[in-house]
C-alpha cells in the first residue's frame, strides 16, 4: 500500500500477510496489531514514550538469564500470566493459578500423612482434603506435587541454607482420594524488584509482595492437570498479590487447634506435634480431560 | 483484589496503581493493559502461544547490540514505528516518515547546487525544490540533511567499500528557500531478516524489501523539524514497504532528461553531466512549531 495513513496502516499490515500464514497465526497477529495500533492512536504515543517502551523491553532482556526471566515477571505484574491461566481454565473445577519460577522436577516421594516440616522453623500445619470429581466422587490414581517457601520466604532452590528439596514432595493419593501431610506455614515474599520490572512497580506506587501460598500440581488419568496455589485468608497481602494469582476459590484458612484430640490419625509425626497446631482443609476438584 | 477473574483482572491492575503515578503514565498503562488483556481474552491465548511470544521478545533481546536494534525493527515491521510518526505529525505540511537506523551525525557541508555523486556508479540525478511555508512562501534559514544508499543498496556506515560520509550532506538553504544537489539514484534494500523479526516475516509470507528512498531532515527556526523520506513512483516495492514508510505525499518521479539544455544552472558539476540525466522536483512544506 502506498497511501499509508493513521487510518489505513492496520489494514495494510493485514494485507501484507501471505497465504502461507496459518489461520491461527493470522488471527493472533490481526488481534495483536489491531490492539497495538489502537493503543498508539488512543494515546497519541510520543516518540519519547515509544523509545522508553522499547528501552524497557531491552533492559528486560539484559537482566534475563537462565535463572531469572524478567519477561515472565513483566507478564506477571501486568496480569497477563494470570489472564492466560484463566482463559485456559475450565469454568468448573478448582481454578488454576501461576506455576511461578520456583518449581523444580524430582521432588521426593511423600506418603499420605507424611511430613514435610522436618526441622523447619514454625508451628505444625496439617494440610488435608480430597481430590474429587465435579460431582464429589474420589478421583482414582491422583498424584499431588507440593512446594512452598520456608519461614524466611525463600524456596529451597534459591536458599543455600536449605537442603535440596526442602518443603517439596510428591504424593500418590489412595483410592479414597484423600491427601494429608504435615508442614509449616509458608511466608509472603517479594518478586524481584531490582530490575526494570521493579522500576515499573516503583513508578506506579505498587508493592512487590505476594501473599504466602502453597503450590500444587494435581494430576490424574483422564483429568485435566491442575496447576494452582492456595492462599490463607488472613495474609496481609491477600488483596494485593503483585502477580494477580489469588482467586476466591483458592482461599483457605489456618484453623488454630489447641487440643491434641483434634489431631487426625495416620500422621507420620503425630506423636511429636505440639500445641497449638493448625489445620487446613482444601479439596481439589478436577475436571475430565 | 482477592477475587481476580477474567472479567475483573483489568480493573484490579488499574486499582493497584498508587497516587504517585503521573497522570500520563497512568493513562498509558491503562490503555496498554486494557488492550493487552482484550487481546488475550479475544484470542483465548494458550500457554504455548504466550511462551512463544515471550521467547520472541527474548530472542529479539539476544540479537540486539549497539549496532543492531531488533526491537526497533520489530516495531517497524508491525507498523508501530510508522504509526508513532503519523500520530505525531501535523495534519498539514509534508508528512514525516521513519528516521531509520542509518542516520549518522556530522555529514559534511554541501552547498546549494553541490555534488554528492562524486565517483559513485549511476546516472546523474538532480534533486531540487523549495522549503516552503504552508502558504507557499520561502522558509528562511532552513537546513537540510540528506543521506541515501549507494547503487548497491548499502549506506556508507555499513559498507567498507564506501568512504566515510559517502552520499551524505548538510545544506544551508538560501533566502529564496531553494535547494538543489546532484546525486545518484539510491537502491531498494532489505531489512535484516536473519533474526527473530525475519522469522516472523517468513512465517507470514512477507518480503523484507524497502523501496529505494532519499532521507531528509529539514529544520528551520520557528518551524517543526521534519524527518522524512521520499520514494520514486516506479520502485518495484513502492506498494509493499516492509516498514510502512510510504505516504502518498512522499512519492516523487525521476524524470528522464535527454537534452543538456534542460540542465539547471548553478550546479557544481554541471559541465560533467552526461545524457540521460534525471531530475526530481520535491518541495518540503514546514509547519510552524
B191-206 pLDDT, tens per residue?
999 999 999 999 999 9
Q: How confident is the model at residue B77 (pLDDT cuts 50, 70, 90)?
A: very high
Rounded Cα–Cα distance for residues A113 and A289 (Å): 28
Give how far A289 is from chain B: nearest CA, Å: 16
Q: What is the DSSP letter of B273?
A: -
Which among B16, B47, B61 is the nearest to A240, CB-wise?
B16
Tell me the pLDDT tens digit for each residue of B266-283: 999 988 899 999 999 999
B81 in contact with chain A, both atoms CB, cutoff 8 A: yes
B37 in contact with chain A, both atoms CB, cutoff 8 A: yes
Helical segments of chain A, H only: 9-16, 23-43, 47-63, 70-77, 80-87, 196-203
Which among A64, A203, A205 is the nearest to B19, CB-wise?
A205
pLDDT score of B1: 67
**A18/B206 Cβ within 8 A:** yes
**A28/B43 Cβ within 8 A:** yes
Chain B partners within 8 Å of A40 (Cβ): 80, 83-84, 87
Tell me the pLDDT tens digit for each residue of A125-139: 999 999 999 999 999
Rounded Cα–Cα distance for residues A274 and A253 (Å): 19
Chain B partners within 8 Å of A47 (Cβ): 84-85, 88
Percent of chain B residues topping a pLDDT of 70: 100
* A276: preceding bond cis by omega (within 30 degrees): yes
Q: For the packed helices B80-87 and A47-63, what is the interaxial angle rounded to 10 degrees?
A: 150
B205-221: buried (b, 16+ CB within 10 Å) or exposed (e) per residue? ebebbbbbbbbbbbbbe
* Phi, psi angles (nearest 5°) of residue B275: -95, 150
Mean pLDDT of B3-30: 94
Residue A2 pLDDT > 90, yes or no? no
Q: What is the CA radius of gyration of chain B?
A: 23
B 245-264 → A contacts, CB under 8 A: 245-248, 251
Chain A partners within 8 Å of B204 (Cβ): 16-18, 20-21, 25-26, 29
Rounded Cα–Cα distance for residues B213 and B34 (Å): 37
Mean pLDDT of B178-184: 98
Residue B189 pLDDT > 90, yes or no? yes
Phi-psi region of A100 (alpha: psi -120 to 50; beta: other; left: phi over 0): left
Residue B3 pLDDT > 90, yes or no? no
**B6/A28 Cβ within 8 A:** no
pLDDT score of A100: 87
Which among B3, B206, B246 is the nearest to A4, CB-wise?
B246
Question: Mutation test of the interface with chain A: which of B4, B11, B52, choosing the one with the most A Cβ atoms within 10 A?
Answer: B4
Q: What domains sit in chain A, N to C, each tagged with a CATH number?
A: 1-45 (no CATH), 83-285 (2.60.130.10)
Percent of chain B residues topping a pLDDT of 90: 92
**B40/A35 Cβ within 8 A:** no
ipTM value, please give it: 0.92
B66 in contact with chain A, both atoms CB, cutoff 8 A: no
Helix (H) or strand (E) holding B121: none
Tell me the pLDDT tens digit for each residue of B33-65: 999 999 999 999 999 999 999 999 999 999 998
Residue A186 pLDDT > 90, yes or no? yes
Minimal-distance CA residue of chain A relative to B201: A17
Contact A51, B33 (CB under 8 A): no
Rounded Cα–Cα distance for residues B109 and B115 (Å): 11
- Residue B41, burial from CB neighbour count under 10 angstroms (0-12, 13-18, 19+): middle
Chain A partners within 8 Å of B17 (Cβ): 204-206
Give how far B266 is from chain A: nearest CA, Å: 34
**B246/A40 Cβ within 8 A:** no
* B276: preceding bond cis by omega (within 30 degrees): yes
Which among A13, A43, A71 is the nearest to B28, CB-wise?
A43
pLDDT score of B91: 87
The three cell numbers of residue B284 are 518540503
Give how far A146 is from chain B: nearest CA, Å: 21
B1 in contact with chain A, both atoms CB, cutoff 8 A: yes
**B1/A83 Cβ within 8 A:** no
pLDDT score of A28: 98
Residue A230 pLDDT > 90, yes or no? yes
Q: What is the CA radius of gyration of chain A?
A: 23
Residue A13 pLDDT > 80, yes or no? yes
A33 in contact with chain B, both atoms CB, cutoff 8 A: yes
B64 in contact with chain A, both atoms CB, cutoff 8 A: yes
Chain A partners within 8 Å of B47 (Cβ): 84-85, 88
Minimal-distance CA residue of chain B relative to A37: B80
Residue B129 pLDDT > 90, yes or no? yes
Contact B112, B143 (CB under 8 A): no
Q: What is the DSSP letter of B191?
A: P
Q: How confident is the model at residue A1 (pLDDT cuts 50, 70, 90)?
A: low
pLDDT score of B271: 87
Chain A partners within 8 Å of B54 (Cβ): 69, 71-72, 75
Residue A167 pLDDT > 90, yes or no? yes
CA-based end-to-end distance of chain A:
46
Chain B partners within 8 Å of A13 (Cβ): 78-79, 244
Mean pLDDT of B241-258: 96
Minimal-distance CA residue of chain B relative to A55: B71
Give how far B66 is from chain A: nearest CA, Å: 12
Which among B1, B50, B84 is the nearest to A45, CB-wise?
B84
pLDDT score of B66: 83
- Residue A89, burial from CB neighbour count under 10 angstroms (0-12, 13-18, 19+): buried
B 165-184 → A contacts, CB under 8 A: none
Q: How many CB pairs under 8 A join A and B?
A: 215
Q: How confident is the model at residue A95 (pLDDT cuts 50, 70, 90)?
A: very high
Amino acid at each position: 500500500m502506498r497511501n499509508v495513513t493513521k487510518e489505513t496502516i492496520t489494514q495494510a499490515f493485514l494485507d501484507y500477510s501471505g497465504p502461507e500464514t496459518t489461520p491461527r497465526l493470522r488471527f493472533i497477529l490481526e488481534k495483536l496489531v489491531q490492539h497495538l495500533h489502537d493503543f498508539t492512536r488512543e494515546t497519541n504515543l510520543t516518540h519519547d514514550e515509544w523509545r522508553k517502551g522499547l528501552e524497557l523491553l531491552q533492559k528486560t532482556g539484559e537482566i534475563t538469564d537462565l535463572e531469572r526471566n524478567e519477561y515472565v515477571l513483566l507478564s506477571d505484574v501486568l496480569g497477563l500470566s494470570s489472564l492466560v491461566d484463566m482463559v485456559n481454565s475450565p469454568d468448573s473445577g478448582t481454578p488454576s493459578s501461576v506455576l511461578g519460577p520456583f518449581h523444580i522436577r524430582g521432588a521426593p516421594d511423600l506418603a499420605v500423612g507424611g511430613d514435610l516440616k522436618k526441622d523447619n522453623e514454625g508451628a505444625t500445619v496439617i494440610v488435608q482434603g480430597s481430590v474429587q470429581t465435579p460431582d464429589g466422587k474420589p478421583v482414582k490414581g491422583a498424584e499431588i506435587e507440593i512446594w512452598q517457601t520456608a519461614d524466611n520466604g525463600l524456596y529451597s532452590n534459591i536458599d543455600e541454607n536449605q537442603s535440596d528439596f526442602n518443603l517439596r514432595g510428591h504424593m500418590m493419593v489412595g483410592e479414597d482420594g484423600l491427601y494429608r501431610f504435615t508442614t509449616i506455614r509458608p511466608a509472603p515474599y517479594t518478586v524481584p524488584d531490582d530490575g526494570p520490572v521493579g522500576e515499573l512497580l516503583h513508578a506506579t506506587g505498587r508493592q512487590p509482595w505476594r501473599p504466602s501460598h502453597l503450590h500444587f500440581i494435581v494430576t490424574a488419568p483422564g483429568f485435566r492437570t491442575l496447576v494452582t496455589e492456595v492462599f490463607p485468608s488472613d495474609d496481609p497481602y491477600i488483596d494485593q498479590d503483585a502477580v494477580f494469582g489469588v482467586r476466591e476459590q483458592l482461599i483457605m484458612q489456618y484453623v488454630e487447634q489447641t487440643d491434641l484430640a483434634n489431631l487426625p490419625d495416620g500422621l507420620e509425626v503425630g506423636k511429636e506435634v505440639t500445641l497449638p497446631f493448625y489445620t487446613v482443609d482444601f479439596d481439589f476438584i478436577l475436571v475430565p480431560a
